[in-house]
Structures are given as C-alpha cells and as structure tokens.
Structure 1
Amino acid sequence: MLSARSLFQEILDHDDSYQLFCSIAASGEAQGGWENGRIAALVPEAMHELAPKITRHGADEDKHGRIFNALLKKRGLEPVDVPPDTDYTMLLEKHGIGLAHDKLRRDERLTENDIVVYLSHSRVTEQRAADQMDMLVKYFGGHPEVGKAIRQICNDEDNHLAYCHEELLRLAYAGHGRTIQRTLRECALTEIAVYRDVSLAVMFHMGRLLNWPKPKSAALAAGIRAMYVYERAGGWRRMVSLTMPERRDALGGPATAAPAF
C-alpha cells in the first residue's frame, strides 16, 4: 500500500534517493537564506524594524541547508546537482513569485510594496514548508538518523509562519490590506501549480533511482494530480487566511544554533 510514510521510508533507506532528497532540500534552503539576507539588507528605511527579523529568517534557512548537508556527510555522501525541474525556489521566481533575483542583486532600497509582496509570498510558501515538516515529524520525528533534524526544522518553520501572519496583519491594519489579499490569492494559485510540477518531477527522479514499476509511478503521479485538483478547488484557501498566532514575535531574537549538526 502506498503511503507518505512508506514512500519516505523507501527514499530514506536508499543512498542514491536519500542523496537527491537532501541535496534538493539543502539547495532550496540555501537559496532562501540568500534571498532573505539580501532583502534584510535592502529594507526601506521606513520599515527598518523588520530587518532583524528578516535576517533571522535567512539565518534559519542557511542553518537548515547546513543541517541537510550534515545529514549527507553523516552517511558518507556528497551533495549532487539538483535537476532544474525539481528546483522549487527558482521555478517560483520564474513564475513571478518572490522578489526577482535581479532586483535583489542591485544595491537599491526596496519599496514598502516590495516588502508587502515578499511577506505575502512567504506566508504561502511557509505554509507549504510547515505542512511538509509536520507530516515528516508525525512519521519520522523519532527516527534515529533524521528525527532530530526534522523536529528542529519543523519548529523553525512554525516560527516563520507565525512571523508572516503577525507582520501581515500589522501591515493590513496600516492600510495594505487589499494588496495583501490580492497578492496572497495570486501567489497561492501559482504555488499549488508549481508544487504539483515539482512533486511530479521529484517522483520521476526518485522512481528512476529506485527502479519503481510503471504502475507504482503512475499511481503516485495520479495522487499528486488529485491533490492539485483538491487545492485548486478550494484547498488553497488555507494558505491565504491570516490569524494572530500564539507565537508572538517569533523571530524577535537571534537564530537558534544547531550544535548537533
């Protein structure tokens, strides 16, 4: 029977698939770390109070990249090149989600609208990250090899999501509500399509490495497409609601260390 638990267990047990999984994850986290670092450096003066929180966000993402690389090293593996069709972060940028890298490479202050857009996009993508980590903790939080890493990253992702909710609500009260509402919807509808395509690509590459039979690959692809249909029909709405989080000022301090990694 196919399940998220059995699927990830199979990927975890095979060196080649585990190597690809950790490499994809490390690459995405490193990109997120760079993006947040540049955004923090370019925050408009009127929103300077956000800079330390965005810096903390980027430091967490960098830390997650190091954790995934450490998991590879622990098994005696090296990172591998990430197939372009599995690069979630870059594909989102290609579809207009997130601030363009060309803009972030310039030493020009961002606008207040740029920050509103950045936080709106982050609210959507951090929802995806938090959902994925919650699932992994549920099934593998006690795993001797990856459990500690998964639990730590999951806690950070919950902090990131709480920070997005709190800051967007503050900006909505300050008069940016319509922009936030529109951007959240546009981003969510684009993200679910990109996530579908990336998931199909990842499963294709995993199937090749693990020699999955065609019926198994077809069943997994059908499940991914069915999830997209559900999200397109209304599941995307969970990614755009805003509620004041229980964790207030979740990114108000320095990034936590990961000495074990």
Structure 2
Amino acid sequence: MLSARSLFQEILDSDDSFQLFCSIAASGETQGGWENARIAALVPASMSVLTPKITRHGADEDKHGRIFNALLKKRNLEPVPVPPETDYTMLLERQGIGLAHDKLRRDEPLTEDDIVVYLSHSRVTEQRAADQMDMLVKNFGDHPEVGRAIRLICNDEDNHLAYCHEELLRLAREGHGRTIHRVLRESALAEIRIYRDVSLAVMEHMGRLLHWPKAKSTALAAGIHAMYAYERFGGWHRMVSLKQPERRNALGGPATSAAEFA
C-alpha cells in the first residue's frame, strides 16, 4: 500500500535516495537563509521593528540547512547537486513569486510594499513547510536517526507560520490589506502549481534511484495530480487565510542552536 510513511521509509533506507532528499532540503533551506538575511539588511527604516524577526527567520533556515547536511555526514555521505527541476525556491523566483534575487543583491533599501510582498509570499510557503513537517513528525518523530531533527525543524516552521500571520494582520490594520490579499492569492496559485511540478520531478528521480516499477511511479504521479486538482479547486484557500496565532511574537528571541547536529 502506498502511503507517505512507506514512501519516506524507502527514501530513508537507501543511501542514494536519502542523499538526494537531504541535498534538496539543505539547498532550499540555505537559500531561504540567504534571502532572509538580505531582506533583513535592506528593511526600510519605517519597518525596522521587523529586522530582528527577519534575521531570526534567516538564522533558522540556515540552521535547517546545517541539520540536513549533518544528517548526510552521519552516514558518511556528501551533498549532491540539486536537479534544477526539483529546486522549489528557484522555480518560485522564476515565476515572479517573492522578491527577485537581483533586487536582494543590491545595497538599496527595500520599500514597504516589498516587505508586504515578502511576508505574504512567506505565509504561503511556510504553510507548505509546516504541513510537510507535521506529516514527517507524525510518521517519523520518534525515528532514531531523523526524529530529533524533524521535531526541531517542525517547531521552527510553526514559529515562522505564526510570525507571518501576526505580522500580516498588523500590516493589514495599517492599510496594506488590499496588497496582502492580492499577493497571497497570486502566490498561492503559483505555489500549488510549482509544488506539483517539483513533487513530480522528485518522485521521478526517487523512482530511478529506488528502481520503482512503472505501475508504482504512475500511481504516485496520479496522486500528485489529484492533490493539485484538490488544491486548485479550493484547497489553496487554507494558504491565504489569516488568523491571530496562538504563538505570539514567535520570532521575538534569538535562534535556537543546532550544535547537536553539526
């Protein structure tokens, strides 16, 4: 029977697939760390209250990248190049979602609208990250090799999602509501399409590494397409709603350490 648990167990049990999985995850987290660090450095003076929280967000993402690389190191594995078709962050940027990297490379302050776009985009992508980590914790939170790492990352992703909700609600009260609504919708509709494409590409690579029969690969692809259809029909709405989170000021302190994984 195909299930998230059985699929991930297969990936864990093979060095080749585990190597690719951790490499993809580490690359995406490290890229997110760079993006947040650059945004924190370019926050406009009128929004400087956000600088320490964006800095904390970036530090968490960097930490997650180190954790995935440490999991590789424990198996005496090296990171492998990430296939472009599996690079979720790069594909989002190519679709114009979030802040363009060429803008982040300049030493010019961002605008208030830029920060609103960044937070709106983050609210969508952090929902995806939180959902994925919740699934992994549910199935592998007690796993002796990866359980501790995924529990730590899951807690961070929940903090990131809470921070996006809280700050976007504050900015909506300050008059940015129309922009927030527009960017959330645009980001969610683009994200679900890119997530589908990346999922198909990752499963194709995993299928080759794990020698899956064609019937299994076909069934998995059908499942991915069905999930996209559900999200396109209406499931994307969960990614754009805003509510006051239970975790308040979730990024108000320093990033936690990941020394035990380094």
* TM-score bracket for this pair, using the shorter chain length: over 0.9
**Counterpart in the other structure of 2:80:** 80
The alignment status of 1:10 with 2:10, answered yes or no, reads yes
The CA distance in 1 between the partners of 2:147 and 2:38, in whole Å, is: 31
The alpha-carbon deviation at position 223 of structure 1 amounts to 0.1
Q: Residue 189 of structure 1 aligns with which residue? A: 189
Cα displacement (A) at 1:259 = 2.2
Unaligned runs of 5+ in 2: none
TM-score (norm 2): 0.99
- 2:142 aligned partner, one-letter code: G
The yes-or-no answer on 1:106 pairing with 2:106 is yes
Structure 2 residue identity aligned to 1:130: A
Q: How far apart are residue 260 of structure 1 and its match? A: 1.2
The aligned counterpart of 1:89 is 89
Letter in 2 for 1:246: E
Aligned match of 2:253: 253
Say if 2:31 is the partner of 1:31.
yes
Matched, 1:122 2:125: no
Q: How many residues align?
A: 261
Greater than 4 Å deviation, 4+ residue runs: none
Distance, in Å, in 2 between the alignment partners of 1:98 and 1:61 is: 16
| Structure 1 CA distance for aligned equivalents of residues 98 and 185 of structure 2 | 14
Distance (Å, rounded) in 2 between the aligned partners of 1:259 and 1:140: 21
Partner of residue 238, structure 2? 238
- Unpaired runs of 5+ residues, structure 1, are none
- For residues 3 and 47 of structure 2, what CA distance do their matches in structure 1 show? 45
Cα deviation digits, residues 12-55 of structure 1 (max 9, x gap): 00000000000000000000000000000000000001000000
SS at match of 1:260: helix
Distance in 1 between the 2:59 and 2:7 partners? 30
Match status 1:176 vs 2:153: no
Say what the alpha-carbon RMSD is for the aligned residues. Answer: 0.3
Alpha-carbon distance in 1 for matches of 2:86, 2:259? 29
| CA distance in structure 1 between the aligned counterparts of 2:170 and 2:18, rounded to whole angstroms | 41
Mapped to 1, the partners of 2:11 and 2:142 lie a distance apart of 17
Displacement of 1:258:
1.4
TM-score (norm 1): 1.00
Letter in 2 for 1:9: Q
- Kindly state the Cα deviation for residue 148 of structure 1 after the two structures are TM-superposed: 0.1
Work out the percentage of aligned pairs sharing the same amino acid: 84
Alignment deviations for residues 222-255 of structure 1 (CA, whole Å, 9 cap, x no partner): 0000000000000000000000001000000110
Separation (CA, whole Å) in 2 of partners of 1:96 and 1:6 = 35
Instruction: State the alpha-carbon separation in 2 of the partners of residues 228 and 23 from structure 1.
Output: 25
Amino acid across the alignment from 2:244: M
Is 1:229 matched with 2:237? no
- For residues 77 and 185 of structure 1, the distance between their equivalents in structure 2, rounded to whole angstroms, comes to 40
Report the Cα distance in structure 2 between the residues aligned to 1:208 and 1:180, rounded to whole angstroms: 41
Distance 1:35 1:154 in 2: 20
- Matched residue, 1:145: 145
Distance 2:121 2:98 in 1: 6
